[in-house]
Amino acid sequence: MADRWPDLDVLQLLVGVAELGSVGAAAAHVGISQPSASSSITRCERRLGFKILDRSPRGSTLTTDGALYVDWARDLLFAAERMQSATAALRSARAAHLRVAASMTVAEYLVPKWLGAFRRNFARVDVNLSVLNSDQVVEEVSGGHQDLGFIETTQPVRGLHVATLRRDQLVVVVAPDNVWARRSKPVPAAELAATPLVQREEGSGTRRTFIDACRAAGLEPPNPAQSLASNTAVRVAAMAGTAPAVLSQLAVRDAVAVGDLVVVPVSGIDLRRPIRAIWTGPKRALGPTADFLSLAQDPP
């Protein structure tokens, strides 16, 4: 049918015939055999419904209709070349930059190692890191404002590609003089859910994981004793004795090691969570996104 999109390879061949005077010369110029070139032109003429070339032993010349068609072909090929060049320039510009957004826990305790490895291996790629809470990371990646995101929420993520990198564990911590620090048995989930805790702000993966874990255990999560916007603030409040706190084991590891905080065992509740990467575009990540993701997927 004549209303199909033109085949750019055939158009390039026809322009070659017009400029070089024969199908054989045009075929050699574009790197195909003369029989293949002749077959392609014949199929094109059949589809268009008119002759493009007058063939003779002395060579091939354009018909009147063919000459007009080749003029149009030149315009289309020029536009295609311009688009190809612009696409290559855009790809090159994007390849030199990578926008990464990470939730606070991931950004503080995992991303520095990944960034160091990435810069050693891909020094020419400029990485911009935004530190947000998990809800904001999802929003930024979904909106196309970030190329790659890292979150630690148990909530389902829709409309994005997701890869689970590893598992994290939330823990309940208290100051050494808190009564829970001296308990010989784990704190039951029901008691934990009845106790106001120092927690991260709404929208954080840590807060969401705790809420989901309580509800999965058939319990309603408590109202926070304090709601704070960083792991450091929550950790300091717990160390000051404000109330028990729930944080990633990554965020309290050093404080527990020196005795500033004590991990309280709990029972009847699952506080594990996935750390996941999210991105848009092809399901199989490409370019710097794929390179960074590969480093993040390496075992810790």
Domain 8-93: give its CATH architecture: Orthogonal Bundle (1.10)
Tokens of 44: 């094109």
Instruction: Give me the residues paired with residue 274 across strands.
Output: 167
Do residues 185 and 264 make contact, with C-beta atoms less than 8 angstroms apart? Answer: no
Judge if pTM exceeds 0.75. Answer: no
- Enter the CATH code of domain 99-277: 3.40.190.290
The rounded radius of gyration (Å) of the Cα atoms in the chain is 32
Determine the residue type at 83: M
Phi, psi dihedrals of residue 103, rounded to the nearest 5°: -65, 160
Query: What is the rounded CA–CA span in Å between residue 254 and residue 43?
Result: 73
Domain layout of the chain by residue ranges: 8-93, 99-277
Fold match, 8-93 / 99-277: no
Going residue by residue through the chain (300 aa), what tens digit of pLDDT does each one get?
Answer: 446 788 899 999 998 888 888 888 888 888 889 899 899 999 999 988 899 998 877 778 889 898 899 889 888 888 888 787 666 655 655 556 899 999 999 999 999 999 999 999 988 888 999 999 999 999 999 999 999 999 998 788 889 999 999 999 999 999 999 999 999 999 999 999 999 999 999 989 999 999 999 999 999 988 999 999 899 999 999 999 999 999 999 999 999 999 999 999 999 999 999 999 999 988 888 888 999 999 998 765
DSSP helix/strand/coil, 2: coil
